[in-house]
Chains A and B, each alone.
Chain A
Amino acid sequence: MVHLSSVNHKDVVDDKLLNAVKKVHLELANDEDSFTSSVYGSKFAAFDLPRHEMPEKEMPKEVAYRMIKDELSLDGNPMLNLASFVTTYMEEEAEKLMTECFPKNFIDYEEYPQSADIQNRCVSMIGRLFHAPLGSDDETGAVGTSCVGSSEAIMLAVLAMKKRWKKQRILEGKPHDSPNIVMSSAVQVCWEKATRYFEVDEKLVYCTETRYVIDPEETVNLVDENTIGICCILGSTYTGEYEDVKAVNDLLVKKGLKTPIHVDAASGGFVAPFVVPDLEWDFRLERVVSINVSGHKYGLVYPGVGWVVWRSAEYLPKELVFNINYLGADQASFTLNFSKGASQVIGQYYQLIRLGKHGYRAIMSNLTRTADYLSDSLEALGFIIMSKKSGEGLPLVAFRLKPDEDRNYDEFALAHQLRVRGWVVPAYTMAPNTKNLKMLRVVVREDFSRNRCDALIADIKLSQQLLQQMDRESIKKQQEFISKHHTSSGKAKHNHPKYRNEKHSLQGKTGKTHAVC
């Protein structure tokens, strides 16, 4: 039985509304700026926030705070974001420490000498972790610096390699106008940026349908006299697999080539030394001249810190290092940024001494176990696993659907379906020459516990069942709907029409997705 309800006469409805509106106007306070009830009683709650031009008048701080806070609640839940490597959990004590250091300007060595000293300790610890040679004087021994992230670190490393190569060429009286760098086609977008912005040619080692990392033989064959260096990735962002740095190094040695290697250990630098300490990828190999690592990935610090270490000062040309005299103290600096917050560097030091090797190992081992568990479960669900297991790669799971099955949906549809459940699991098109292989990727971070892993597996199963029941047409429709309304970048208006659909990068040329890191 349905509840019966009378249909009101039209006049009645209108009258009520009208009266209500009138009342509101009549009772409106005269003094619009003062508010006594709560921020929602102020006039600001009834207006849109200024978007394009600065307001003439100020706004009470409680109101501005609340309005912004409310708006930010539309941001995603970092815990369910399985797309990003970037740390989303830190201990309360670490947060407190970082909060206290917000106003500290990291570059201001004279004013904040202790913060600067803490950076030096971190460089020392990370350098030793990577088996950096310890020098007895100024010329030998590793040098390093903190950065905003691995992007800056990589740009600095490319600059150093380029400058060193150029100096050598000038010394030999040879032309130095077409430097190149050898790297995998699965590199992160900042490598493309670095080559573009600093005018270095890219020589790409393409992946194949079965091999998602560089082939050492092919890599070394690409090296010529204009090669400033080779980039090896410790933990590809697509499948998490470690590239065989040792093989590249040994081939170089065998052929008698002096080409330097830079290891992009953005994610792997804080995983491999703890999980697979015997894997030789770092300064133990003689051709490795520099390594970068992101503190805000498996270094377990909130965003804003990366590290780069050079084997010795010889690999960091002097003319790139600027000295700044400040209140009598000379400061050598090699950065693209200048003033920045000191919190993250302090956070890194906190984590290093708080956790110790034992703590990092415990966390990384747990992550590896969770990743293995997820791999096995997904395999049981019928997916093809593309990532490595048991510590042979980063703790992430890359998987795809079986190609031969008769099925109406693809990886992207599954990703969209999971999005509706709140999970952000990205779908990618792999690096070029892999026949546009599609894949899904789950990054296992510190806060991704076994319990949440189970919830994810259940949701994947559910989404698959749902998609199986739908026909091709409705899947397409739903996908369009989700990408328009559920994903934020689909809704966004900020995309600039002029720069849309660029054709100059690997993504523009081949359809590879620039993986998020």
Chain B
Amino acid sequence: MSLARHVDPENIISHLHPDGKRQGAPGSHLTPYSTDYASQTSIPKYRIPQEGAPADAVYAMLKDELDLDGRPTLNLASFVDTYIEENAQKLMVDNIVKNLADNDEYPAMLSMSERCVSILAHLWGVQKGEKAIGSPTVGSSEAIHLGGLAMKRRWQERRRAEGKDTLRPNIIMGANAQVALEKFARYFEVEARILPVSAKSNFCLDPDLVSENIDENTIGVFVILGSTYTGHYESVEVVSKILDEFEERTGVDIPIHVDAASGGFVAPFTHAGTGSQKWNFELPRVKSINASGHKYGLVCPGVGWIVWRDESYLPKHLIFELHYLGGTEESYTLNFSRPGAQVIVQYYNLIHLGFSGYREVMENCLANARLLSKSLEAAGWYTCVSDIHRPISTSITAAQEVKEAVKSTVSSSGDEKRETSADYTPGLPVVSFRLTDSFRNEFPHVKQDIISLLMRARQWIIPNYALPPKEDGTEILRVVIRESMSFDLLDRLVTDLVQVTETLMGNDQADLEILQSQHERRRPKVKKGADDKKEGEEGDKGGAGGYKQAGKNVGKRMADGIHRSVC
């Protein structure tokens, strides 16, 4: 027998277990732990049990099992909000039964959703005389599908009116795009022109490549406000100017959809904004914007928003009318019945926090993110790929920066004037960092994913992944600073990161290899069996061509079947 025999724990338990079947019906019991499920019988996993079980026992079993889930607060990988105010939670509980699709039954909830759309349209700079229109969605994915579909339909209508073919629509996005954007292209049969990113473009959409890839079949450009990799804002205004020039030259009007999933609730509130650039409806070319309420909108998962600047950008025959007991309701969504409590909490947040409340939260997040970035760079082993901690006048050298960082960490809060994000490069409160080149030369055996793994052992979740294609030789560790990541926790995080790195420096290669192989085995088997499918090759999309720059690298990434960032 080989030493590396694989042990299946489930098998052992089922062998050792005296009897898999439960004896008789569940009788009376004192506590949940005196029922059969406590020891005699395993909780049903793959088929509905014939007989049920007492409510408190099932509750206790499930609650205990769910303790194995991670701790939301220490999950630094996700943008999704994990803190919920007590009052907001009360509102969620009170309204958990309400169905957002049932307009006639829940008019008050519906009017709150209307108000949220209206408030967001104003927040995103809707212009006078325009009739903005929008909708709550389950999240930004649904919103992106809806925004993209409206663009596709407008393009088709225009082409048909001109008597031209509508066979080969395409859409432009950067390789840093979240998976939802690619999904849209795949599901709605639009060729995705995924432009490679580079250090020059801050690993975001490169405006120079945009002008080379647009043509009369381009239904629109997805511009991302807040790249999930590094938190940089893509320059909406620059892309808009390029498209203006293109229209002047060719007469083809290409719209912009801004995917502000994370940035839509950050940029408007922070002092930094998006720098000197415009990003919202102030630019006439921006026709629609989406944002996730459950990210920096500070609501728990299940709400997103999409707003079109004017009703004329939403083709009429995409809208369905629902008649109901004398009333009429229009609907443009992919989901129908769904919970409405999140929409109520969104409204609660908007009026409870107000503009200044949101500003405080976002400024705090950014301040903490700056502090983390500076501390990491001050430690000397890491360099940040994100830029939010760099002052706008970026002429200072790295050495000066370190000095400054030390100074600002040392100096207490008693300073005369609190600094704001306005002095720094705008971006999301995200810290993306990697080991410095000199560190990697000195300790070539220390891999970044081991840092991620060891931090996991200390309960922190910090993902390590490669940058988008063309730059995928570089791996980054990413920390998302949410509102619950307070100063105190940050302190612990920096200490733990330093300790972990020091430990690694002291270990030799052999130890680390064992650790890594253990990690491979430990990976959770999610979506097991037939469900676990690799995404296929490019299929019908590959042959279409059309990439002027992308070519092979895009193919490689897709062939890997891996979309690295989660939001």
Contacts and interface: CB of A to CB of B under 8 A. Distances in A.
A329 B352 contact: no
Nearest to B466: A325
Given A53-B122, A321-B533, A489-B104, A111 B98 contact: no
A487 interface: yes
Main secondary structure of the interface of A (DSSP, over half): mixed
B58 to A, nearest CB: 4
Given A139-B530, A490-B326, A499-B321, A340 B104 contact: no
Given A121-B46, A125-B46, A148-B338, A319 B533 contact: no
Interface string A55-73: 1111111101101110111
A21 interface: no
B55 A91 contact: yes
Contact of B77 (A81, A111, A322, A482): A111
A510 interface: no
Contacts of B63: 97, 100
Contacts of B106: 75-76
Contact of B532 (A87, A121, A138, A346): A138
Contacts of A276: none
B187 A320 contact: yes
Interface stretch (B216-224, B294-302, B368-376, B392-400): B294-302
Contacts of A88: 97
Contact of B352 (A58, A120, A189, A342): A58
Given A303-B338, A324-B562, A59 B141 contact: no
A508 B321 CA distance: 8
B108 A57 contact: no
B529 interface: yes
B115 interface: yes
Interface residues on A, range: 35 or more
Interface in A114-149: 114-118, 120-121, 123-125, 128-129, 135, 137-145, 148-149
Contacts of A76: 104-107
Contacts of A117: 526
Given A326-B77, A332-B531, A353-B52, A111 B292 contact: no
A93 B56 contact: yes
Contact of B90 (A65, A111, A196, A320): A65
A60 B85 CA distance: 12
A65 B28 CA distance: 41
Given A294-B337, A332-B527, A490 B327 contact: yes
Interface in B114-141: 114-115, 118-119, 122-123, 133, 138-141
B335 A151 contact: yes
B156 to A, nearest CB: 9
A186 to B, nearest CB: 15
B351 A59 contact: yes
Interface in B349-381: 350-358
A488 B179 contact: no
A501 B321 contact: yes
Contact of A114 (B68, B81, B449): B68
Contacts of B188: 197-198
A486 B76 CA distance: 49
5 contacts: A50-B351, A68-B348, A105-B78, A496-B133, A516-B324
Given A58-B353, A303-B337, 12 more contacts: A72-B109, A87-B97, A135-B529, A138-B529, A170-B540, A338-B139, A354-B55, A356-B53, A488-B107, A489-B329, A492-B107, A492-B329
| 9 smallest beta-carbon distances between A and B, as pairs | A489-B327, A488-B107, A483-B326, A318-B536, A64-B352, A356-B52, A93-B59, A65-B87, A151-B336
